[in-house]
Structure 1
Amino acid sequence: MRGDAVDFAGRTIPASLIRDLLTDQLDQRGLRISGAHLSGQLDLSDVAVARPVVLRDCTAERPVLLDRARFASLDLSGLVAPSLSAPWLRLDHYLLVQDARLTSEDGWALDLAEADVGGHVSLRGSRLSGVEHALHAPKLRTGSQLHLAEVRADGTVFLDGARLGGNLRCDGATFTATGVALLGVDMQVEDNVYLRRGFRARTGSDRLAAVRIRGSRIGGQLVLRDCRLTGQRALDVKHVKTGKEILLSPEALDGGVELDGLTYVGVPRDASVDEWLDLLATRTPTYASQPYLQLAAAHQAAGNERDVRRTRIAQQRDLIRRGRLTRWGRLWHRVTGATVGYGYRPALALVWLVGTLLAAVVLVAAVAGPAGLVRSCSTVEQVGHALNAVTPLAKPEGVKCQVLTTTGLGRFVVVSTWVLQLLAWAFATLFVAGFTGLVRKTT
């Protein structure tokens, strides 16, 4: 058994024999055993051997203990055991726990807290079931990728503070928990985070998100494609920073989403601008300006000016609906929205100005004129008088027309022209302010 691979084909050997072999003089090729049934408890805690250890397709009656152990590499693929405890494990190369079956009735199925692996970690195809955590790996460090593809986890996959030197791959995995299904607050992932190809995460909590990676730093892409996140809150990526694009389809989210503080490079993919704006307005718990500003900045960098305006207008509408505004602040936003599109459509003020002038013409030429209330004026002069009365320009000399105020209708027309003049001045001012950006809001 020293160096050569030995297949026990299901025969039972004492678990203590493994420790004896590792602490005895060991071949350079390490220890390689497969198909063994281990009686008793396999306890390799504090064992330090600079050799590879392979225990494939083995079955253990009791939890396997690897606390503070150190090996060149470790392959426990196919392991069937109540649990695997390996906090502070140190490996020079890789850790394989593929197609394993770990079911704990009183703790964590797999504990890799503060483990340090020089290469990659692969749990591909494993079935993990824990009372609280299926995988407990806070501050796990890897030199390369963490493979969780096709893992079935009943309990939280806990990766808070992990430092991964490559990708986090969860392709085809299914995580289910009463709390957060995938919890990775303050992770650092050098490359991409892949939640795709049938990935499923479900939480039974009304408060916690199915996937919560708040505050994480991702060097590459955040990919949520062909996946399903289910819960009252499906996804929490607050204050996550990615070095490249984010690929997220709103259809992947069966629940709300936390996006405040999320930053990314480029325009979000897998969703149209309309879908993103609907996501921000209807699927986020509260109003926040940053997601809108980030989206607008992405389209600004891409040269999509039309989408920039749409995004900023949508932000202001959401601010009115859910933001913390005073009554007067809300009224002002409604006015600027209707008149200049919150400063992003100043031409609207010109439309209102033209409408004001037309209203004045109707009052003077179509109401006061036929009623005989305009003295010594032709129809053309009446139109000129109406425009002169309300337009925000200097008044010319020698005005001939005058509206008689001896009747109630005459007084109404005159007072109405005063009101229209104020409105005309207001619309002209709003146009100038909107054109120069004075009423644009970034709150």
Structure 2
Amino acid sequence: MRRTSVTSSSAIPSRLGRLTATERRLWRAFPHGELVDLRTGDFGADDPAGADGWPAERSVRGEVIAALLLGACPTVAGAVAAVRLAGARISGGLRFDHGQVAPLLLLRGCRFEGPVVFDGAVTESIDLSGSRLTTLSAAGAQVRGTLDLSDTRITGTGAGESEGEEDARTVRADGIRVEGGLLAEKAKVEGSFSLINAQIDGRVNLIDAELVGRGAGGESLNAGGMRVGRSLMAQRLRTEGALRIPGAHIGSSLYLTGARLDGRGHSALHGDSLTVVSYSFFSPHETGAGKQPFTAIGTVRLPGANFGSGLTFSGAQLTPTPGGPALRANRMQVAGSLHLGKGFHTDGEIRLTGARVTGHLDLEGMDSPRALLTLYAASAAGGISDTAESWPGRLNLDGFAYGPFSRYADAADRLNVIRRQVRRSDPARTGGFRAQPYEQLAAYYRSLGNDGEARTVLLARQRAVRAELSFPRRLPGYLLDLLVGYGYRPLRAFGWAIGLLVASSVYFGRVHPQHVSADSAATFNPVLYAADHLIPVVRFGQSDAWQYHGVPAVVTVVLTVLGWTLGIAIAAAAARTFNRN
């Protein structure tokens, strides 16, 4: 049966004038959703970059397409009306802003000579894949399907035109609502891609995309407040200019594996108050030639961010913004593990002030010996996976609380890490003192039942405190350390006491004293005489019956002083032992 044509001259709005043969062909195909393919099949000849050389037969006016979308051509019952056009040069731009568009729009491999504008429009799916555009404006639009910009190139206003704030926004899609996904795989956008407060119910695909902001401080992507129902996939993404996603909410995972973000002298990534429900990956991407690392040239900012199932920077390469940290993640929350190992490298600061990690902090394999790791007031409830070599050369561990270490190491090895604490006055220098890191480490050893290692840590803390004092104020500390190790080495005092008792007994055994009273019949015992002077309070009667003059008398006075000193030290050591502090 012969299909009846719905096209007649009376059905075409007069404002469109006379349609070209190609436009009439598109008009006839529209009610049935048929594809009008103007491509030759030669990839080079069909490249939209060379559309200036295409014949006139491959041109279609944008106003004709807009008329079809807005109902100028009647539809056919039982068919899905759609504009399906491939390999065309669209002249005059395409505008259907604030329109109610029921047909699908598919313009693949096309070249747009003017802007594409559908601000505030309500549309079905839009497919512009493989096309070349100047600008795209879809602020406040609602797409009841998918917006496909895969393999597109959006060039902006072009050289010679003003590059002000408005012109810098090559894609203006603030407040857009896409009920499906936003697909921009392998897209290249020259100028800012603006998605402020956008809502994408499906996924956002920026795999292998290239976003190049304009000017030294130009943004590559501005998606502050964006809500994504599923994952944000940006593997191997390339950006020049800041990538901004502050306050964004991602309903599943964030993939930035193998991405390269260049802030051009500014921060590479702004993720302040970002929320990711599932896992986030800032890690290498496996390729046939090996691993392609995640690279950021400029600070990665994640203050106040919330990651629901873990965060990995393993193998990442971070270069800080001059004067700033490489990673700034103050008050970050990670409901899972934070991975900063397996070749993670930076020479800047890793600032995790106030960060909360419910899983473990993985530093194993970190390669950042010149970095500064700031964990001030941070916590890793699940513990730490590390080696002594994996810690950076400079640390700020004051207030850092953590669970058990994944592998046991002696206190001496752990103390070597704590001694990398930076000074308050000069973060470039190590050797600063904070009490809390020592106390936290001692608590860890006590939790294992290893009080000896805990005392080693606390003794090191006392010595570090002493090093902060002036020399005269250090002297009592040196004495207390020598005698009983500040109370953490109580057996040392008993050793000193026994040694003094033996030495003084030998001395007094060779130098005989005189009777205090001529009537005394007491027998001299050099050991008990030495004990009479060495052991405070307890008396054996020898010092009451015998006395020395001259040098031996001075020895007895020195022995008495040392005895009281050791007695006080032993009492202090006993108190520390019973208090377990």
Q: Which residue of 2 aligns with 1:159?
A: 302
| Structure 2 counterpart of 1:332, from 476, 481, 500 | 476
Secondary structure, in 3 states, of the residue corresponding to 1:225? coil
Secondary structure, in 3 states, of the residue corresponding to 1:320? helix
Q: Distance between the aligned counterparts of 2:120 and 2:209, measured in 1?
A: 19
Distance 1:103-1:23 versus aligned 2 partners, 3 A rule: farther
Corresponding position: 1:44 with 2:181: no
CA contact (8 A) 1:216 1:239 kept: yes
Higher Rg of the two aligned structures: 2
- The more displaced of 331-340 and 114-123 is 331-340
How many Å apart are 1:225 and its aligned residue?
Answer: 1.4
Corresponding position: 1:318 with 2:464: yes
Q: Which residue of 1 aligns with 2:96?
A: none
Q: Which residue of 2 aligns with 1:206?
A: none
Give 5+ residue unaligned stretches, structure 2: 1-83, 85-102, 127-143, 157-169, 213-219, 285-293, 424-431
How many Å apart are 1:223 and its aligned residue?
Answer: 0.7
Matches within 5 A, 1:71-86: 71-72=200-201, 73-82=203-212, 83-86=220-223
Q: Which residue of 2 aligns with 1:417?
A: 556
Q: Which residue of 2 aligns with 1:435?
A: 574
| Structure 2 counterpart of 1:34, from 143, 146, 150 | 150
TM-score (norm 1): 0.85
Q: Percent identity?
A: 25
Q: Which amino acid aligns with 1:47?
A: I
Q: Distance between the aligned counterparts of 1:93 and 1:342, measured in 2?
A: 59
Corresponding position: 1:94 with 2:231: yes
Q: Which amino acid aligns with 1:42?
A: V
Q: Which residue of 1 aligns with 2:347?
A: 202
| Structure 2 counterpart of 1:279, from 408, 417, 421 | 417
Distance 1:392-1:214 versus aligned 2 partners, 3 A rule: same
Matches within 5 A, 1:301-380: 301-322=447-468, 327-328=472-473, 330-366=474-510, 368-369=511-512
Q: How many residues align?
A: 418
Q: Which residue of 2 aligns with 1:207?
A: none
Distance 1:212-1:362 versus aligned 2 partners, 3 A rule: same
Q: Distance between the aligned counterparts of 1:336 and 1:398, measured in 2?
A: 30
Q: Which residue of 1 aligns with 2:189?
A: 60
How many Å apart are 1:351 and its aligned residue?
Answer: 1.3
Secondary structure, in 3 states, of the residue corresponding to 1:198? coil
CA contact (8 A) 2:271 2:303 kept: yes
| Structure 2 counterpart of 1:265, from 403, 408, 418 | 403
Could you report, residue by residue, the CA deviation over 1:6-56 in whole angstroms, capped at 9, with x for unpaired residues?
Answer: 974xx6557954857984223865233422222332221121122212111
CA contact (8 A) 1:87 1:112 kept: yes
Q: Which residue of 1 aligns with 2:165?
A: none
Q: Distance between the aligned counterparts of 1:354 and 1:103, measured in 2?
A: 75
Q: Distance between the aligned counterparts of 1:6 and 1:335, measured in 2?
A: 87
Corresponding position: 1:243 with 2:364: no
Q: Which residue of 2 aligns with 1:191?
A: 336
Larger relative contact order (Cα-Cα within 8 Å, sequence gap ≥ 6): 1
Q: Distance between the aligned counterparts of 1:195 and 1:430, measured in 2?
A: 45
Q: Which residue of 1 aligns with 2:363?
A: 224
Q: Which residue of 2 aligns with 1:142?
A: 276
Secondary structure, in 3 states, of the residue corresponding to 2:336? coil
| Structure 2 counterpart of 1:128, from 258, 261, 266 | 261
Q: Distance between the aligned counterparts of 1:3 and 1:305, measured in 2?
A: 74
Q: Which amino acid aligns with 1:35?
A: D
Q: Distance between the aligned counterparts of 1:398 and 1:20, measured in 2?
A: 107
Q: Distance between the aligned counterparts of 2:105 and 2:366, measured in 1?
A: 43
Secondary structure, in 3 states, of the residue corresponding to 2:325? coil
Could you report, residue by residue, the CA deviation over 1:246-294 in whole angstroms, capped at 9, with x for unpaired residues?
Answer: 1233423443110011101124647543221012124443211111111
Q: Distance between the aligned counterparts of 2:309 and 2:563, measured in 1?
A: 62
Give 5+ residue unaligned stretches, structure 1: 204-209, 406-410
CA contact (8 A) 2:372 2:393 kept: yes
CA contact (8 A) 1:16 1:43 kept: no
How many Å apart are 1:80 and its aligned residue?
Answer: 0.9
Secondary structure, in 3 states, of the residue corresponding to 2:398? coil
Secondary structure, in 3 states, of the residue corresponding to 2:438? helix
CA contact (8 A) 1:97 1:126 kept: yes
Q: Distance between the aligned counterparts of 1:137 and 1:398, measured in 2?
A: 81
Q: Distance between the aligned counterparts of 1:320 and 1:15, measured in 2?
A: 75
- The more displaced of 234-243 and 246-255 is 246-255
CA contact (8 A) 2:278 2:307 kept: yes
Q: Distance between the aligned counterparts of 1:14 and 1:221, measured in 2?
A: 54
Give RMSD over aligned pairs: 3.1
Q: Which amino acid aligns with 1:306?
A: G
Q: Which amino acid aligns with 2:154?
A: L
Q: Distance between the aligned counterparts of 2:305 and 2:378, measured in 1?
A: 14
Q: Which amino acid aligns with 2:433?
A: Y
Q: Which residue of 1 aligns with 2:124?
A: 25
Q: Distance between the aligned counterparts of 1:20 and 1:172, measured in 2?
A: 42
Secondary structure, in 3 states, of the residue corresponding to 1:215? coil
Q: Which amino acid aligns with 1:152?
A: T
Q: Distance between the aligned counterparts of 2:544 and 2:253, measured in 1?
A: 91
Could you report, residue by residue, the CA deviation over 1:307-344 in whole angstroms, capped at 9, with x for unpaired residues?
Answer: 1111111111111113x58954x333322222122112
Corresponding position: 1:387 with 2:531: yes
TM-score (norm 2): 0.66
Q: Which residue of 2 aligns with 1:175?
A: 318
Q: Which amino acid aligns with 1:385?
A: Y
Q: Distance between the aligned counterparts of 1:101 and 1:183, measured in 2?
A: 21
